[in-house]
Chain A
Amino acid sequence: MLRKLMKYELMATARVMLPLYLAVAALAAAVRLLAVWSDSVHFESVLTVDPVNLLLVLVTVAFFVAMIAVPIAAVVLMVLRFKTNLLSDEGYVMFTLPVSPHKLVWSKLLTSAVWFIGAALVDTLAVLILAADQDLFQGIMDFFRSLFADLTAYYAANGALVIAEIVILVLTACFCECLEFYCPMAIGHSFARHKVLLSVVFFFVIQAVTQAVWVCLVTAGVPFAEDLGTFLSSLSPAVTVHGTMWLSILFCLIYGGVLYAITIRMLHRHLNLE
């Protein structure tokens, strides 16, 4: 059932995200072509501005706007889909499908993660289209090769493992990002009135509580700072690299886990559709 839920979630969101992705790639190609053209052609014009250069400036501005719009659209869509599909009228259909609230939320989390990662890849691709030449690609390949060589030589860390850790960290961070919005929306929409306003209020409440917990943890750790420093310096570089990654993943899992548990609880026990 999760696969079917994701199929419809991807269909609903692709209508917005795919044209945006294509627009960024097309604008990048247009900027590149116009830049080449403006170098080779000079118009004798009555205008004080070269029309090709003017067009190049306009397309470049549009390209940067589109590049910024893609990740923003992914976040806005993530929020809107949760609200429209689960907390508004469509919720009457979605919550009466023979699936658990867990699957409903996971279909949203996984789909949003797909579009977040897609946004990063498309923006990277767009920059590569702009700057693409043989030297650049060779430079990128050399950079990664030397990065892994250094990781292995200096830190004695396993490069493939580091990649796997980065992938896991990115995914868990994407889920946390979504749940930071889902959780306050699920709480806010459990009230009879002022649902959106209360969702915003709970968003800031959750942020404030998270900050407070951080401050408490850091304060509690201050007396042990010297011991901790000694302990860290005794570790091998490889353990430090992997340890830092896994500690970050663990933090995301704990933080996301708490937000997920609250979200599910609110959707299961306190759903209040209009």
Chain B
Amino acid sequence: MNRLECRGLTKQFGALTALDDVSFAIQPGRIVGLLGPNGSGKTTLIKLATGLLVPTEGEILINDQAPGPETKGMVAYLPERPSLPQWMTVKGLQDFYEDFFPDFRREVSGEMLDRLEISPKRKYKQLSKGTREKVQLILTMSRKAQLYLLDEPIGGVDPAARDYILDTIIRGYDPESSVILSTHLIADIERVLDDVIFLDRGRLTLTGSADQVREQKGMSIDALFREVYRC
């Protein structure tokens, strides 16, 4: 069973086509880079997988099911920007995740918070933007989900935290779960990728295993990205 499958997936916003007839499948146990410049449709694709958007045409399936309350329990989603309730403390947010997601591992989140020296007593809105992003990533990665959808997980954090985040993703690797990472900071994440999906103006331009693509093109994924999307 595919963790994520798109069949002729199209999403239009009025006259704008954000995704155009996209088809691919992601197997369990893969870490996939969803790559493309700004406006290529990465976030739209992730929002469709989470059920935040509804396709105009085609379908998107999580474990062979259309997005709904059941699939939301299988997917751990990290949005592009901090979006947790501002009035809660970090501990309150752990309670919140524990209440709604049976797969939330509180002890894992506690360890990660300790490691990054984030006090659970602190109010979320009093944290810096970077720390808020870390807290949300910690809560997302503390779930034992079947599919992780991480939209720009390293965009707003410092390089040291970036390494920690990538290590966290690799350490959390489970042969039963898949991770989709959307980013344009490819050099930082290339080392963790099993597969890549290149999007350009809503169209799928390249998909395959990262090793295969490197071998065929004779260059790193980062170099290929710079060449394909040169302005």
Contacts and interface: CB of A to CB of B under 8 A. Distances in A.
A and B pair up:
yes
Interface of A: 1, 4, 7-8, 12, 15, 85, 89-93, 95-100, 192, 268-269, 271, 273
A95 B52 contact: yes
B51 A95 contact: yes
Residue picked from A90, A98, A273, most chain B C-beta under 10 Å:
A98
Contact of A98 (B81, B82, B86, B100): B100
Measured as residues with beta carbon below 8 angstroms from the partner, the interface class of chain B is 20 to 34
A98 B87 contact: no
Given A89-B83, A90-B84, A273-B52, A96 B70 contact: no
B71 to A, nearest CB: 8
A269 B51 contact: no
Contacts, number: 58
Interface string B41-67: 000000000111110000000000000
A12 B100 contact: no
22 contacts: A4-B100, A7-B99, A8-B85, A8-B99, A12-B87, A85-B85, A89-B83, A90-B83, A90-B85, A92-B52, A92-B77, A93-B84, A95-B51, A96-B51, A96-B52, A96-B75, A97-B72, A98-B70, A98-B101, A100-B69, A192-B14, A271-B52
Looking at A85, A89, A92, A273, the one whose CB has the most chain B CB atoms below 10 A away is A92
A194 to B, nearest CB: 14
Given A4-B99, A90-B84, A90-B85, A96 B50 contact: yes
B130 interface: no
A139 B77 CA distance: 60
A98 B69 contact: yes
B16 to A, nearest CB: 9
A93 B70 contact: no
B152 to A, nearest CB: 13
A84 B87 CA distance: 11
Interface string B90-115: 00000010011100000000000000
Contacts of B52: 91-92, 95-96, 271, 273
B73 A98 contact: yes
A93 B69 contact: no
B79 interface: yes
